[in-house]
Structure 1
Amino acid sequence: MKTCEIERFDDLLSDLERRNEEEQKQIIEEMNKQIYAVILKNIYFPFTKEWFDKMDKMIEEKKLSMENAIEFLKFLGYGKELKCLTCCSFDESLLGKRMKEMMIDENERNKEEKLLTDLCECYISLGHDKPPDLLSIYVPCLLKAASKKEENEKAQKDVEISLLALSNLENYEMPKELYLNEIKEIIKYHQEHRNLTHLAYQTSWRLLVNRLWVDNYLEEVIVNELHFVREAAGEIEDLSKCVDWKKTPKEMSREEMKGMLIIGRWFNDIDSFFSSCNLWNEELTGLNRGLVQLSRASRDNHKDICNRCLYSFGEAGKKRNVKNNDLLKSGAIDAVLEELQQLTLNHDLVLDWLYFFLNISRRAKEEEEDEKDEAKRKATKRKIFEKMEEEGCEDIITSFYGNIIFFLFHYECGLSLNISDYFVNV
């Protein structure tokens, strides 16, 4: 069944057939304005294979110029990537196959750089499958486009689109010679000159951070050379200031909604970083402190954002090289204890919080075996103990005993049946 959105775009697409090229540009501008509303509203990508096939037929019959088609498809891919939606319909469509062939042909002819860039952006942003054998086309082309340093609005938008397309290649094996120096230069230049938009800068990190699980050599680059943790904290703080967290989602402006989407994209990178990186520095406390502030600001009207903050604390708590004092100083333990008061037995995050306290308790026991800084360690344990006691943490976790049994029976989750293992004792 067709959605209202598709019916609206069907009408606009049919209208293109009756217009000359200049009039088509105006209609496409109108279609682009509506993309935001469609993308922000849906949790799925609404454009179908049939819709793309119809556009391909119009191109074949010269009822739609390739230039105008590309202009719309670039914006469509931009919206899809902004919301992190999945799309398989473009790959299967005649239009997707046409653009792939054009991209290969244009690369072989080496005739027009802008057209090749446009084709790569459309194909990578809208497609689900990217043939690895074409990485030597995609990556250099998109990196070159993303490296432009002009700061006018159009140039910044072009760089955004190129970086969004490039981030689609995060899970593909590629030699570091193909991308590393260029993406580092893009990030370092922005850190000095602030030439990228918030979205472009977040996206420039995605290719690096999401490759940590296969490229361990990136740890030193990401943590100590490019300072991911510090930069993520600063960006989330800046974006949070642009959002009125007292508003409900329906009350928010389009720019506020976009800011929230970019914050959500940072969370994806932060979680990938926590799960894949074993190298840490003191900047972690600053990031967690910022997430604590955000969790409290978003708690009432944006529970999904609040929960993402708290989930990140849980991911940090799993790391052996994150000290309990780091979580204490940042306020992360306080934030989780506050949220624990709101939980019900069926709450989706119960498992995460059980892990969080289990890891804190285990880490405290491990720290006892280390004789260095004994006074500081005892002070930290005393503070955590007092906080947990004040919030009635033992009674709450005890009430989750049935959940623990359920999790252990249905999943290999590593929880303990011993309730005392979830508390820090002095």
Structure 2
Amino acid sequence: MNEAMEEMDEKEFKYVFTMGRFDETDEMIKEKKLFMENAILLLKHVGYFRELKIIYLESFDYSLLSERMKEMIIDENEKKEEMNEKIFTDLCECYALLGEDDIFGEVLSTVVPCILKVALNKEESEETRKEVEVALLALSNVRASLFEKELYLNEIKEVIQHHQEYHNLTRLAYQSAWMFLVYRLWDDNSLEEVIVNELHFVREATKELKELTKCVNWKREKEEEDGKVERKEEVVLLRWLQILKNYFCYCELRNEEFSELLGCIVRVYLAAKENHRDVSKECILFARTAEANGNVKIDGISSVGTVDAFLWELHWKTLNNENVYNVLEYLKTISARLREKKGEDEMEEAKRKAIKMEIFEKMEEEGYEDMITSLHEAFRFFIEENIVFIYH
């Protein structure tokens, strides 16, 4: 079964794991044709591969099986001494791995502490590393749910800090720990100090991206990946890029580590742009998000070469190309910033004008001005927004 799931692409995965299939499983459990323990182990694998493939699978949330698991978590938690801890932990991980909807109330306050116990296991064995990886992957799927810091903060800090000192986690496990913590930012900005200055999220993300960039086969032809499972390193890299976007949407606290991260993103984009379009898309979205939220200093716009790098996308002239759209949005934001004068002193004003001229000359020299104009006419959104680019 694991080998079959490894080979499935997104379309095949969704075709197999439908709401009807989950309901059939629930019926088999109800009629005692399938032991719950066996069903949980199988479904944990389904959830694990769903997360590895970054597939949105909402069919589980609306199934009878989801309701059964929810009730079991509450019932088993009330038993306390009678409860089989291993089966209960598997149940909690399974529920977190498969669900797309936010977890609320009693289920949330039971599931998170239970899975964190597994994540805190520091035994040095391959089996433990795998168990911790699955636990943290399950936690990373607990997204926008509201719950108190007392339920998770000290434990997840301990997981991250222990890895920073001893490097005991797999790359996927470490990324997942960060994903779980950063997703809490949307509701609690008091976490900013811990994430930015105590745990050094940006520094750690930059380091991990640099390492992952060395591991991915960037020259792999597109045909070779059709119908195949993505390499694990590439999935982890994609997940870092996705959580970085989230981080810059909700975190206002900045430090000097950001400029190095932006430069690293540009290098990832340049490596990925031809054969790994999903990665290049995430790089552009990250830069667009960071720029829109004012995370890039004026002199950083040109120093790390984002504009030079992303202009390459404009050669892809198909109107359904999402990257072209996002590059145009990125240029729109930069254009607006370079036209602004927010109480600048003479030095800042001169710097802004110099960067504006540098970008303008680059566009003119490479012939991008006409290209942008033609694309500007083609995208109705940009006509409606009445965008004025840098060279206007």
* Cα 1:256/1:236, change in 2 over 3 Å: farther
Given candidates 362, 369, 374, the residue that maps to 1:387 is 362
RMSD of aligned residue pairs (Cα, Å) = 2.8
Please state if 1:100 is matched with 2:70. Answer: yes
Q: Deviations over 1:313-354 (max 9, x none)?
A: 222221224213223222212112233344455543344223
Across the two proteins, how many residue pairs are aligned to each other? 387
Q: Match for residue 121 of structure 2? A: 148
Q: Match for residue 169 of structure 2? A: 196
What aligned pairs does 1:255-404 form with structure 2 within 5 A after superposition?
257-344=231-318, 347-366=321-340, 369-371=343-345, 373-374=347-348, 376-403=351-378
Given candidates 111, 114, 121, the residue that maps to 2:86 is 114
Higher alpha-carbon deviation: 84-93 or 144-153: 84-93
* Cα 1:373/1:179, change in 2 over 3 Å: farther
Q: Find the aligned partners of 1:372 and 1:204 in 2 and give their Cα distance.
A: 45
Q: Find the aligned partners of 1:38 and 1:341 in 2 and give their Cα distance.
A: 32
CA contact (8 A) 2:116 2:155 kept: yes
Q: Match for residue 78 of structure 1? A: 48
Partner of 2:8: helix, strand, or coil?
helix
CA contact (8 A) 1:45 1:86 kept: no
Higher alpha-carbon deviation: 51-60 or 383-392: 51-60
Q: Bigger relative contact order, structure 1 or 2, given CA contacts below 8 A and separation 6+?
A: 2
Given candidates 147, 150, 157, the residue that maps to 1:184 is 157
Q: Match for residue 212 of structure 1? A: 185
Q: Find the aligned partners of 2:290 and 2:18 in 1 and give their Cα distance.
A: 40
Q: Match for residue 12 of structure 1? A: none
Larger radius of gyration between Structure 1 and Structure 2: 1
Partner of 2:184: helix, strand, or coil?
coil
Q: Find the aligned partners of 1:128 and 1:321 in 2 and give their Cα distance.
A: 30
Aligned partner letter, 1:329 = S
Partner of 2:255: helix, strand, or coil?
coil
* Cα 1:208/1:373, change in 2 over 3 Å: farther
Q: Deviations over 1:296-317 (max 9, x none)?
A: 2222222222222122222222
Q: Find the aligned partners of 2:273 and 2:183 in 1 and give their Cα distance.
A: 28
What aligned pairs does 1:213-232 form with structure 2 within 5 A after superposition?
213-232=186-205
Q: Find the aligned partners of 2:378 and 2:13 in 1 and give their Cα distance.
A: 30
CA contact (8 A) 1:39 1:45 kept: no
TM-score (norm 2): 0.87
CA contact (8 A) 1:56 1:94 kept: yes
Question: What displacement does 1:158 show?
Answer: 0.9
Partner of 2:345: helix, strand, or coil?
coil
* Cα 1:146/1:297, change in 2 over 3 Å: same
Higher alpha-carbon deviation: 118-127 or 78-87: 78-87
Aligned partner letter, 1:87 = L
Q: Deviations over 1:367-406 (max 9, x none)?
A: 5741164455554444334323322333222223424654
Partner of 1:349: helix, strand, or coil?
helix
Q: Match for residue 99 of structure 2? A: 127
Q: Deviations over 1:94-147 (max 9, x none)?
A: 543443333222211223322221110112222344343322211111111111
* Cα 1:397/1:112, change in 2 over 3 Å: same
Q: Find the aligned partners of 1:221 and 1:68 in 2 and give their Cα distance.
A: 40
Question: What displacement does 1:197 show?
Answer: 0.9
Question: What displacement does 1:41 show?
Answer: 6.7
Q: Which runs of 5+ in 1 are unaligned?
A: 1-30, 410-414
CA contact (8 A) 2:23 2:64 kept: yes
Higher alpha-carbon deviation: 83-92 or 308-317: 83-92
Q: Find the aligned partners of 1:60 and 1:113 in 2 and give their Cα distance.
A: 22
* Cα 1:406/1:362, change in 2 over 3 Å: closer
Identity rate, percent: 48
* Cα 1:299/1:88, change in 2 over 3 Å: closer
Q: Find the aligned partners of 1:358 and 1:295 in 2 and give their Cα distance.
A: 20
Aligned partner letter, 1:353 = V
* Cα 1:250/1:155, change in 2 over 3 Å: farther
* Cα 1:364/1:93, change in 2 over 3 Å: closer
CA contact (8 A) 2:376 2:383 kept: no
Please state if 1:174 is matched with 2:147. Answer: yes
CA contact (8 A) 2:104 2:146 kept: no
Higher alpha-carbon deviation: 371-380 or 231-240: 371-380
Q: Deviations over 1:209-268 (max 9, x none)?
A: 223222122222222222222222222222222221111245369786222222221221
Q: Find the aligned partners of 2:164 and 2:233 in 1 and give their Cα distance.
A: 20
CA contact (8 A) 1:394 1:423 kept: no
Higher alpha-carbon deviation: 241-250 or 139-148: 241-250
* Cα 1:212/1:233, change in 2 over 3 Å: same
Q: Find the aligned partners of 1:382 and 1:138 in 2 and give their Cα distance.
A: 55
Q: Find the aligned partners of 1:249 and 1:42 in 2 and give their Cα distance.
A: 19
Q: Find the aligned partners of 1:54 and 1:401 in 2 and give their Cα distance.
A: 51
CA contact (8 A) 1:53 1:93 kept: yes
Partner of 2:185: helix, strand, or coil?
coil
Aligned partner letter, 1:201 = Y
Q: Match for residue 15 of structure 1? A: none
Partner of 1:217: helix, strand, or coil?
helix
